[in-house]
Amino acid sequence: MNPTILQTPIDYLKGVGPARADLLRSELGIHTYQDLINLFPNRYIDKTRYYKINELQRTSAEVQMVGKIIHLKTVAQKRGKRLVAKFIDDTGEMELVWFRGHKWIKENIKLNTPYVIFGKTKYYNGFNMPHPEMELLTEHEKNLRISMQPVYPSTEKLTNKGITNRVINKIMQQLFIETKARFYDTLSQEILGELKLISKSEAMFNIHFPKNQEVLAKAQYRLKFEELFYIQLQLITKKLVRKRKIKGYPFTHVGDHFNDFYSNHLPFELTGAQKRVIKEIRKDMGSSAQMNRLLQGDVGSGKTIVALLTILLAMDNNFQACLMAPTAILANQHYQGITELTKDLPINVRLLMGSTKAKERREIAAALEDGSLHLLVGTHAILEDKVQFKNLGLAIIDEQHRFGVAQRAKLWHKNTYPPHILVMTATPIPRTLAMSLYGDLDISIIDELPPGRKAIKTVHRYDSNRLKVFKFIQEEIEKGRQAYIVYPLIQESEAMDYKDLMDGYDSVVRYFPMPKYQISIVHGKMKPADKDYEMDRFVRGETQIMVATTVIEVGVNVPNASVMIIESAERFGLSQLHQLRGRVGRGADQSFCILMTGYKLSSDSKVRIETMTQTNDGFDIAEVDLKLRGPGDIMGTQQSGVLNLKIADIVRDNDILKTARYYALKILKEDPALSLEKNKIILYTYQQLAKHKNIWNYIS
């Protein structure tokens, strides 16, 4: 088939027309034949048998029946009317009921004529079926017979405008007639043979009109593999092209800055994981290709030391570096930490934020341009056009999912060559997701905690145990420790959350009265300066308890805080709970995280609470989170469209994803340009996909 036919606008398909085309575009994003053919069913209804009225069970199942309507009447009810039909077959009778659309049904129904009806049965003084799907038996026998009926994604608006599942089914049949159900294959003979995959034409036909479960399973596997294979091909190609084409500055020299710090100023012995990661980074930066590495490490695993050693390498090779964080608090913390670690070294470090005064900005700009400023730490302010480096060789980005791709690209344009990029995150990304989202980055993982750190003890307590929990906080404060009490903040219910926070604060103040106890409070309605002041008091140990909403989720480092109480823990997502827990356990003392909830918990909430009490491993937690929430949510709202997959599901189809990545790597290793005859079809498909951007628009 000529592939261009699939780019035909949907308006031209028989049975669609301008009004329906507009609805399909706005509601389901269907613009072309190609979009329609890729509208895959959500589920299938088995229509392999016809039930008799005397075979019906009181289970409210979906059934298909053949019979006649012998009588119609309108019945008044509390609100409006309902239309009731008497439906009979040779074993008995039942009622069909409509609550809307009476006029159309009355005008179009043929009495005493055989119909095939389909719907959910209900039982109330006999069987009835509300709003059945109906088709004349003569029409039913003429149609393309499908025993497994597909159910397509839909919206309320489509249903209200008469574009029912049956209508979509009809136009899908029309599309197969117009395209003669022939699709060019998109995978090489080698892959089809090795994996025993069915052809593209067979797969497309059987995904929409399967005869039975067996052929459906084959079609699903074939199409899922293809979708994941081309995503992996895209990501791996991008990585190879970047390594081949995008030159970086080779950092071949390990000099005084690095060696002096490593030998004389390291505050503690590095873990094996930190040493391994530094080796990977040194190897990357020693070649003439640009480094693009994602550094994952759980909260408190020591990513900052790795970042600092990387910065010292850049300085040893006469380059400048920048470290960018998503919030002022986090940027300030990096700045404080690094200046403390390097206080005995000849290093010039400055901090640049939105609030930095003009005079100081001018000083920073001058020092950056003459090269006397070695490291600039800051927020988005670093990206401003006015900020020009003499020779930026390394950019470190913390919590990258809070920065868009466009912002990363801005750093590239501050130089002749793009700087080496190290992206750090404390949000563990499950391997499954990392393969799909960051398949174009190299990944390093710090999977050991620094020596001397004790695992945080996590327990679940119900609201009724609150006084015992307060008593426990009191005991910890008497040992000289500090505690956090965190309340949820969810945009939609801000007023209610604020009230919960203030009620909670009042009860804490009653139990911990001044002047014996000092309490900080931090929430979103405060001015930034007041927030910083309260945070600062807690950091300096002037207050023993910090009552806060989730503004403290990323980045406050108070080694003396040993207790984290999370109120209404059932309202938090797993990754949020894990991030919050990571605020304690930063000192040598035993730390505790107490999850407070009500008695009523949904099954998902139970899974989240159990997971938190059973493990401290961020990667295990991320895997559970991925299963509960799906890939879209994991990356936060900025990336919610990230994996806009048509048929595959990266959690359930993890094994297919691994197979797809294996084949993509194997092919590109042997034939990087896809120029061999046997890979011609793969190259053609790849170019078509890139041209129409069907699935590439969401690659990270």
Q: Which residues pair with 84 in a beta bridge?
A: 73, 97
pLDDT band at 95 (very low <50, low <70, confident <90, very high): very high
pLDDT of residue 671: 92
For residues 22 and 158, what is the distance between their CA atoms, to the nearest angstrom? Answer: 11
Query: In angstroms, rounded to a whole number, what is the distance separating the alpha carbons of residues 223 and 71?
Result: 47
Q: Which fold has domain 48-145?
A: OB fold (Dihydrolipoamide Acetyltransferase, E2P) (2.40.50)
User: Given pLDDT bands bounded at 50, 70 and 90, which one contains residue 100?
Assistant: confident
What fold characterizes domain 457-615?
Rossmann fold (3.40.50)
Q: Is the pLDDT of residue 652 over 80?
A: no
Residue 382 vs residue 1, higher pLDDT: 382
Calculate ∠ Cα 480-593-587, nearest 5°: 45
- The number of CA neighbours under 13 Å toward the Cβ of 241 is 8
List of residues 6+ apart from 615 with CB closer than 8 A: 621
Segment 8-40, tens digit of pLDDT: 999 999 989 899 999 999 999 999 998 999 999
Check residue 99 and report its DSSP letter. S
Percentage of the chain lying above the pLDDT 90 cut:
42
pLDDT at 494: 66
Delimit the domains of the chain by residue range: 48-145, 256-446, 457-615
Fold (CATH) for 256-446: Rossmann fold (3.40.50)
The band of 700, judged by pLDDT with boundaries at 50, 70 and 90, is very low
Q: Residue 587, class by beta-carbon neighbours within 10 Å (0-12 exposed, 13-18 middle, 19+ buried)?
A: middle
Asked whether residue 408 carries a pLDDT value surpassing 70, the answer given is: no
- Please determine whether the domains at 48-145 and 256-446 fall in the same fold group of CATH: no
Give the 3-state secondary structure of residue 14.
coil
Could you report the per-residue pLDDT of 122-170, keeping only the tens digit for each?
A: 888 889 999 998 999 988 887 766 678 888 988 888 888 888 888 999 9
Q: Could you tell me if 331 and 380 are in contact, meaning their C-beta atoms sit under 8 angstroms apart? A: no
Q: Which of 685, 680, 684 is nearest to 695 (CA)?
A: 685
